[in-house]
Amino acid sequence: MLVRNLEHPDTQLTRYRAHGGGVAHMILDVRRHLNTLMFLAHASVPPGNMLEGHVDPMEEIYIIQSGRGIMQVDDEKREVNPGDAIHIPIGAWHQLTNNGDQELTILVVAGLIPGQEA
């Protein structure tokens, strides 16, 4: 059994700036832990900031933990709240904006890039 959280030393070493407006950590990833998923990450976005629009070569799921925001996937925009899970298809343009007054935190689950072996 493998247990990781945001306080684990391995997780702390992975801190990075996420798409311009957030801070993220890799909790589990294909290089160190996983076989059939790319990663599980945690990201936080301060009020008024955003994870800037981008395209990823893998399928993702964003799970809203706290705060609220506006999620855009391609041409569709929706308000998102804690407990919401947003599916982002392979190659879809997506952006998440924190339009609330508290930090927006999410978990990001990503599948392997098609054709990539673990």
Residues 25-62 pLDDT 10s:
989 888 888 888 899 999 999 999 999 999 999 999 99
62 C-beta neighbours (distance < 10 Å), count:
23
- Determine the length of the chain: 118
Q: What is the pLDDT of residue 118?
A: 53
Q: Residue 109: pLDDT above 70?
A: yes
| pLDDT band with cut points at 50, 70 and 90 for residue 117 | low
In the CATH hierarchy, which fold is given to the domain comprising 9-111? Jelly Rolls (2.60.120)
Please report where in the chains the tokens 């054709």 appear, as a residue.
115
Q: Look at residue 91 and tell me whether its pLDDT is greater than 90.
A: yes
From 55, 112, 60, 110, select the one nearest 86 (Cα to Cα).
60
Which pTM value belongs to this model?
A: 0.85
* H-helix or E-strand spanning residue 29: strand 22-29
Q: Which residues pair with 77 in a beta bridge?
A: 72
